[in-house]
């Protein structure tokens, strides 16, 4: 069973290391970014104790510098395709 939105928002980022953050930019930018928390923590280890709720307002699109229109946490970046290389994700929870 997936975690709830309140559970994810109150979780320290280090506890989310095996999960992925999916961000969708605001119009007119159409960028979608799927980012592993593990990589985020590797690049910025000082934020490991911060919560997801602390992180979300700080995020910006690399192309247009806007905050995301939506954000979700998932157990796998694959959107459910029939890939033989990686399993399809089993859950996704909107957090923004």
Domain residues of the chain, as ranges? 5-76
DSSP string, 60-74: --TTT-PPPSEEEEE
**pLDDT, mean of each 10-residue run, the chain (96 residues):** 95 97 93 94 96 96 93 82 62 91
Q: How many CB atoms lie within 10 A of CB 82?
A: 6
What pLDDT does 70 receive?
95
37 with 50: CB under 8 angstroms? no
pTM here is: 0.85
Cα 50 from Cα 46, distance rounded (Å): 9
């Amino acid at each position: 069973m997936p975690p709830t939105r309140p559970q994810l928002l109150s979780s320290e980022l280090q506890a989310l290391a095996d999960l992925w953050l999916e961000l969708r930019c605001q119009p007119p930018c159409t960028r979608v970014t799927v980012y592993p928390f593990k990589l985020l923590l590797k690049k910025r280890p000082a934020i490991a104790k911060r919560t997801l709720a602390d992180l979300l307002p700080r995020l910006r699109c690399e192309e247009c510098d806007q905050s995301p229109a939506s954000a979700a946490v998932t157990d796998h970046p694959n959107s459910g395709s029939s890939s033989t290389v990686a399993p399809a994700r089993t859950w996704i929870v909107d957090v923004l």
